[in-house]
Amino acid sequence: MDHGKNRPTSLEIAVNESKSFSKSRAMSEKAHRLIPGGAHTYAKGDDQYPEQAPGFIVRGKGCHVWDVDGNEFIEYGMGLRAVTLGHGFEPVVEAAYRQMQAGANFNRPATIEVELAEAMLQLIDGADMVKFAKNGSDVTTAAVKLARAYTGRDLVAICGDQPFFSTDDWFIGTTEVNAGIPDAISRLTLKFRYNDLADLQALFEQYPGQIACVLMEAEAVTPPAPGYLQGIKDLCEKQGAVLVFDEMITGFRWHIGGAQRFHGVVPHLSTFGKAMGNGFAIAALAGKRETMRLGGLEHDQPRVFLLSTTHGAETHALAASLETIRIHRERDVIDFLWRQGERLRKGINQVAEGHGLGGYFEVIGRPCNLVYQTNDRQGKPSQAFRTLFLQEMIRGGILAPSFVVSYSHSNEDIDRTIDAVDQALSVYARALAEGVNRHLVGRAVKPVNRRYC
Ligand SMILES: Cc1ncc(COP(=O)(O)O)c(C=O)c1O
């Protein structure tokens, strides 16, 4: 990484006049020496942000964060969408702290494991049993293993239009970053297109009796066509495959019962994580007793080694999750997310129209999970324009890799964001006319899942 080695351009100097990132730059050099990728999650890495960006966060409160240089930002999509209530959200922090004082981990299960299991199962339609873990990747992988054991089949069908399901080989083997993963494993995962039932039908015909499960998000950015999700479920049941909904993003966001409740289609297994614990490490595999019981001790079939880790039921993460669920129920958090998202979407669209940017800059997705698309002069998706937009938003005090709101985004935060978007899009419009490189400081961002650095 070449941080701060190039001579600053005049624009860089201008940007630096408003915000300094010198401590971030120094720390970044050290981080890249000590940590492969300079971060413990690729999606947080330097290559995902402009050069003029906060490199390291020191603290957060609500939807505000402060970086190592002392700059303050309003943040969106906090903690990779895990922090749905807000940073340092006091009732959750206090619940976790109380539990920490009573002990984090014992030789026998803690009572809170049963309490949270009950609370989760009240929320998830059709799930009779649940098992906790630390990461979303672990629970989607567990769902795949359980489906394979239940059906006696090896192949897995995943939705190829959706970006991420797990850090494990059965999924990463299908991406560009597949170094170190045997082909024999990657070949067991097949892909189908979203909103195209015939495409999945064709996979079942090509591999009769071989597909163990169909794994997908019920909805990512594009809503399902009428009848599509029910069609998927009917097809799975006809073909003897297990339907798994990955609710990592949709859970605790589309609806407290997830996208399955929102769309009224109940899968056989579902996986939750992220917002379940407002940033504390907790994830869950939930599903029908018929399948989940194979991970139990009361059957005469071969046992499935289903999620058994030292830290899987760390008590304070479970306490954080119980409190998060209580807050959701008490304060109608979901309704708030949709309302604030809608306020933001309306405001940004008005501003974008004002700059004549229809077709170039667009906010898309459900109000509770807004993302944006940046197109170049030819109307094609552009990483350079994405970087420019991020750069200008950062200049305006907003850290927005998405526009995913939290329960802490007040009207004032939303309105400040719309003002910053207005400023950022005026630069965007000039860059469309004059060329993006005249306005962009340094290199463009790159896709997370790419083969070479
Ligand atoms: C839809 C989806 N599934 C699974 C995962 C993996 O979750 P984790 O990063 O907690 O392992 C993610 C993470 O971004 C995700 O977005």
In single-letter form, the type of residue at position 433 comes to A
Residue-level pLDDT at 2: 35
Q: Measured in angstroms, how far is the CA atom of residue 427 from the centroid of ligand 1?
A: 34
Residues of the chain with pLDDT under 50: 1-16
**Counting atoms of ligand 1 from 1, which one is nearest the CA of 43?**
14
Q: How far is the CA of 166 from the centre of ligand 1 (A)?
A: 6
pLDDT at 10: 40
How confident is the model at residue 6, as a pLDDT?
41
Q: Is the CB of 171 under 6 A from ligand 1?
A: no
Is the Cβ atom of 164 under 6 angstroms away from ligand 1? yes
Q: What is the pLDDT of residue 5?
A: 38
The pLDDT of residue 452 is 87
Tens digits of residue pLDDT in 28-77? 999 999 999 999 999 999 999 999 999 999 999 999 999 999 999 999 99
Best residue among 40, 139, 248 to mutate for probing ligand 1's pocket (most ligand atoms within 8 Å of CB) is 248
Q: Which atom of ligand 1 is nearest to the CA of 220?
A: 1
Span from the CA of 43 to the centroid of ligand 1 (angstroms): 11
Ligand 1 centroid to residue 164 C-alpha, Å: 6
User: CB of 181 within 8 A of CB of 169?
Assistant: yes
Residue owning the nearest CA to atom 9 of ligand 1? 136
Please tell me whether the overall predicted TM-score, pTM, comes out greater than 0.75 for this model: yes
Sign of the four-CA dihedral 83, 84, 87, 88: negative
Q: Is the CB of 273 under 6 A from ligand 1?
A: yes
Q: Is 245 in the pocket of ligand 1 (CB under 6 A)?
A: no
Q: Could you tell me the CA-to-CA distances from 123 to 79, 129, 276 in Å, in that order?
A: 23, 12, 12
pLDDT of residue 67: 97
Cα 103 to averaged position of ligand 1 atoms, centre (Å)? 28
Reading the block at residue 226, the tokens are: 């009428």
- pLDDT reported for residue 17: 52
| Closest approach atom of ligand 1 to CA 135 | 10
Nearest atom in ligand 1 to the alpha carbon of residue 162 is 1
Per residue in 363-387, pLDDT (tens digit) is 999 999 999 999 999 999 999 999 9
Q: What pLDDT was estimated at residue 453? A: 85
Task: Output the six-digit token pair for 445.
Answer: 């961002």
Give the per-residue pLDDT at 225: 98
Q: How far apart are the first and last CA of the chain?
A: 10
SS3 annotation, the chain: CCCCCCCCCHHHHHHHHHCCCHHHHHHHHHHHHHCHHHCCCHHHCHHHCCCCCCCCEEEEEECEEEECCCCEEEECCHHHHCCCCCECCHHHHHHHHHHHHCCCCCCCCCHHHHHHHHHHHHHCCCCCEEEEECCHHHHHHHHHHHHHHHHCCCEEEEECCCCCCCCCHHHHCCCCCCCCCCHHHHCCEEEECCCCHHHHHHHHHHCCCCEEEEEECCCCCCCCCCCHHHHHHHHHHHHCCEEEEECCCCECCCECCHHHHHHCCCCCEEEECHHHHCCCCCEEEEECHHHHHHHCCCCCCCCCCCCCCCCCCCHHHHHHHHHHHHHHHHHCHHHHHHHHHHHHHHHHHHHHHHCCCCCCEEEECCHHHEEEEEECCCCCECHHHHHHHHHHHHHCCEECCCECCCCCCCHHHHHHHHHHHHHHHHHHHHHHHHCHHHCCCCCCCCCCCCCCC
CB distance 249 to ligand 1 below 6 Å: yes
